[in-house]
Amino acid sequence: MRAIQTDCISFKVDTFQLKDISLSIPKQKITSIVGPNGSGKSTLLKIISKLLLADSGSIFVHNQNIKSYKSKEFARSISMLPQSKESLPNLTVKELISFGRSPYKNFLNHRLTKIDEMIIHESMVMTNTEKYQNRLFFSLSGGEQQKVRIAMALAQKTSILLLDEPTTYLDISHQLEVMELLQTINETYEMTIIMVLHDLQQAASYSDYLIALKNGEIAKSGSPEATITETFLKNVYDIQARIIFEDDYPLIIPKTRRRKDVYRHKHNEN
């Protein structure tokens, strides 16, 4: 079953171009979009989320063309967390999370209902952010802020969650915490999660499906174990690496000489 399908998507801005992107993203799975810098990962995610308009081609969400969705209907189907380090107004954590209920409100009435309060509470419990609910968002650490942003997306009650580089700006401990949280959300709510990731090892470890882009084109797609090969790393990332499988997941080990070997070689030359 597919959650999203794109047919021959093309998009050009300045000298960059996405070319004929046709893909099928599985339903209720975690999909990561990977590739070198400038390959079009974030651009593709923004087109899927309607933040950018493709020059040509079609996108279907739950077998419905996104052009036929009304704004609030689309916001009840897909939530999007862009990459962000911008400061937000002086909002408490709960106030920010409550914005996730906006697609369910009309223009004249923004008051939270009992159902809204229940969903907001559930989102905070899932992300372990309930203890911060009365604190100002900007006072939290980067990892805590990212969990609050994920809680806001959960409060939107969509079946699809898009994230643009959710672990950027975080230390390794908080990166893994966020990835574990997303995996738990996927398993608990059977939510389709699609994210752009720079860390190929994280993508391989936490994803069910990978889409690799290079120069605005799909270089390869499939399961992590089928996608990540030595040939793939050479062709897409131009790196030499060895692949070892551990519990069916590929571990990437760069083929570089150790520093002591380089020192020994230079010492012998002298």
Give the pLDDT score at 258. Answer: 55
Sign of CA dihedral 39, 45, 47, 48: positive
pLDDT tens-place string over residues 67-106: 999 999 999 999 999 987 666 678 999 999 999 999 998 8
Is residue 232, in this structure, part of any structural domain at all? no
> What is the pLDDT averaged over residues 240-251?
83
Is residue 142, in this structure, part of any structural domain at all? yes
Burial class (CB in 10 A: 0-12, 13-18, 19+), 42: middle
Shared domain check, 179 and 89 = no
* Cβ burial 181-192 (10 Å sphere, 16+ → b, else e): bbeebbeebebb
Shared domain check, 122 and 66 = no
Cα 96–Cα 99–Cα 102 angle in degrees, nearest 5? 175
Q: Which two tokens stand for residue 190?
A: 């059977």
Q: Which two tokens stand for residue 22?
A: 């046709």
pLDDT tens-place string over residues 203-236: 999 999 999 999 999 999 999 989 999 999 999 9
Residue 266 clears pLDDT 60, i.e. is over it? no
Is residue 93, in this structure, part of any structural domain at all? yes
Shared domain check, 192 and 73 = yes
Coil, strand, or helix at residue 135? coil
Q: What is the DSSP letter of 9?
A: E
Residue 260 clears pLDDT 70, i.e. is over it? no
Is residue 248, in this structure, part of any structural domain at all? no
Give the integer Cα–Cα distance in Å for 168 and 164: 9
Is residue 266, in this structure, part of any structural domain at all? no
Give the pLDDT score at 264. Answer: 55
How sure is the predictor about 140, in pLDDT bands with cuts at 50, 70 and 90? very high
Shared domain check, 152 and 90 = yes
Lookup result for tokens 């809680």 = 151
Shared domain check, 170 and 127 = no
How sure is the predictor about 255, in pLDDT bands with cuts at 50, 70 and 90? confident
| Residue 139, domain extent | 85-157
> What is the pLDDT averaged over residues 152-178?
95
Task: Report how far Cα 264 is from the mean position of its chain's Cα atoms.
Answer: 43
pLDDT tens-place string over residues 107-136: 767 789 999 999 999 999 999 999 999 999
Percent of the chain at pLDDT exceeding 90: 81
Average pLDDT value over all residues in the chain: 91
CA distances in angstroms from 222 to 23, 30, 70, 94, 179, listed in the order given: 11, 12, 32, 38, 20
Q: Which of 13, 65, 2 is nearest to 44 (CA)?
A: 13
- Whether residue 124 contacts residue 130, with contact meaning beta carbons closer than 8 Å, is answered with yes
Give the count of domains, the chain: 2
Can you give the pTM of this predicted structure? 0.91
